[in-house]
């Protein structure tokens, strides 16, 4: 629950359907670095808590700040630093909301994660799941859930996907929810009303360069950094057009001289339109998580004691004497052996070795680490001369 009306009505519908649910707020960002903008996480927690009290359900706050920085903020800043346009909302849904948070929910005994997304989920005859658009075309958010895997879709629930926004607010008012008339957020996913330029200015240093017209290579202005612009952008370039009813748009970025390539918004603009798009099927990664056994998670085994080797080849541990493991038999050498005369041995009194009790070695169970591949490494240069089109995720307002 984010403290908005969408997740509030999602909890309301699940409560009316008789589900046993708990409201949880993901604490991802508290603006520790004093980025310019409003980050109302405290107010969001209070609003979400008030809704849970109204519905009579439990409310929890889950701290995922470190995972959010490592999986979303790092991906966001790295993409902009390389001249790309990342989409933090898509990555937040895949890596945080239906990634780390979903695993946290499973570890605490929950079977599914429900959100306030305007999307729907359909089950296919073969047991797989399909992601469908929301009924409200103006609020459809299936695009931001496009990278979810089948395992994530199996645990996802979208209770409000069949509702239009006006009807949803009407349900919130009828139920007396305090978030019925709360304004929708338009900032970065679970960060708040923070403008992207202000966020980038605080973490990515400016790298000025020329603004070059792609048709003839003429410099028409200067820019502060390539990370402030995206392909197809028209507003905010800062270069006036000298042609009536024509405006410049960004058509490419050149990393060699930090040049921002612009052209008029025409079908013949180099790099602005493509005749061919290559699509690749998604790669399914196995979920590195196992549900806890009945009765709760088992404790980790005690670490094995250190062994010391006896000069005679025997190993000692906890007062017992263990036999040294038998050496593997070596394969005979096919070459003929030269027989040597037997050596004369002295007569020694041999003592039979002490028989030790059988030893059982306790091996620690494997510990699975959560590994995720965040984003794909796209080329740095997006020049209009490129013959192949590299799909780039463009961040849109929710």
Catalytically active residues are 92, 189
What's the Cα-to-Cα distance from 254 to each of 77, 217, 228, 375, rounded to whole Å?
19, 12, 14, 21
Q: What is the DSSP letter of 347?
A: -
Long-range pairs for 254-257: beta carbons < 8 A, 24 or more residues apart = 254/212, 254/381, 254/383, 255/83, 255/226, 255/380, 255/381, 256/381, 257/209, 257/210
SS (H, E, C) 219-244: EEEEECCHHHCCCCCCCCCCCCCCCC
Structure tokens at 242: 């000298």
CB 220, CB 239: distance < 8 Å: yes
- Kindly give the interhelix angle for 41-55 and 5-16, rounded to the nearest 10 degrees: 20
Distance (Å, whole) CA 91 – CA 27 = 16
> Residue with structure tokens 């190993």?
315
In the chain, beta strands by DSSP E: 22-27, 58-63, 113-114, 119-123, 129-133, 156-157, 209-213, 219-223, 248-254, 259-264, 308-309, 315-317, 320-322
**CA-CA-CA-CA dihedral for 171, 176, 181, 186, to nearest 10:** -80
**DSSP letter, residue 362:** -
Contacts by residues 124-127 (CB-CB < 8 Å, ≥ 24 positions apart): none
Here the tokens at position 102 are 């979903």
């Amino acid at each position: 629950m984010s403290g908005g009306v969408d997740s509030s009505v999602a909890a309301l519908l699940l409560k009316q359907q008789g589900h046993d649910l708990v409201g949880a707020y993901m604490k991802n960002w508290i603006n520790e670095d004093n980025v310019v903008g409003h980050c109302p996480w405290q107010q969001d927690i209070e609003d979400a808590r008030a809704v849970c009290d109204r519905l009579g359900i439990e409310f929890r706050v889950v701290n995922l700040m470190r995972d959010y920085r490592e999986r979303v903020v790092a991906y966001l800043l790295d993409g902009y630093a390389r001249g790309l346009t990342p989409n933090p909302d898509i990555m937040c849904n895949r890596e945080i909301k239906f990634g780390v948070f979903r695993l946290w929910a499973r570890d605490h005994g929950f079977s599914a994660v429900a959100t306030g997304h305007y999307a729907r989920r359909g089950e296919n005859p073969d047991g797989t799941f399909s992601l469908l658009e929301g009924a409200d075309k103006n609020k459809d958010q299936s695009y931001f859930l496009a990278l979810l895997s089948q395992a994530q879709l199996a645990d996802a629930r979208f209770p409000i996907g069949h509702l239009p926004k006006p009807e949803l607010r009407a349900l919130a008012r009828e139920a007396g929810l305090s978030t019925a008339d709360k304004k929708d957020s338009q900032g970065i996913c679970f960060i708040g009303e923070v403008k992207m330029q202000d966020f980038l200015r605080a973490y990515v240093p400016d790298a000025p360069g020329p603004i070059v017209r792609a048709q003839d290579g003429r410099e028409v202005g200067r820019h502060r950094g390539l990370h402030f612009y995206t392909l197809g952008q028209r507003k905010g370039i800062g270069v006036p057009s000298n042609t009536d009813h024509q405006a410049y748009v960004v058509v490419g970025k050149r990393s060699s001289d930090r040049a921002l390539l612009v052209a008029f918004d025409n079908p013949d603009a180099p790099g602005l339109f493509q005749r061919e798009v290559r699509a690749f099927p998604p790669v399914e990664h196995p979920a590195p998580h196992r549900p806890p056994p009945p009765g709760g998670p088992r404790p980790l085994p005690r670490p094995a004691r250190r062994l010391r080797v006896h000069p005679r080849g025997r190993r000692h541990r906890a007062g017992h004497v263990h036999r040294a493991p038998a050496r593997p038999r070596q394969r005979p050498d096919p070459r003929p052996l030269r027989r040597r005369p037997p050596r004369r041995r002295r007569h020694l009194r041999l003592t039979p070795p002490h028989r030790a009790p059988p030893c059982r070695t306790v091996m620690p169970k494997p510990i699975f680490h959560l590994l995720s591949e965040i984003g794909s490494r796209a080329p740095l240069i997006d020049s209009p001369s490129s013959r192949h089109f590299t799909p780039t995720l463009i961040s849109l307002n929710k």
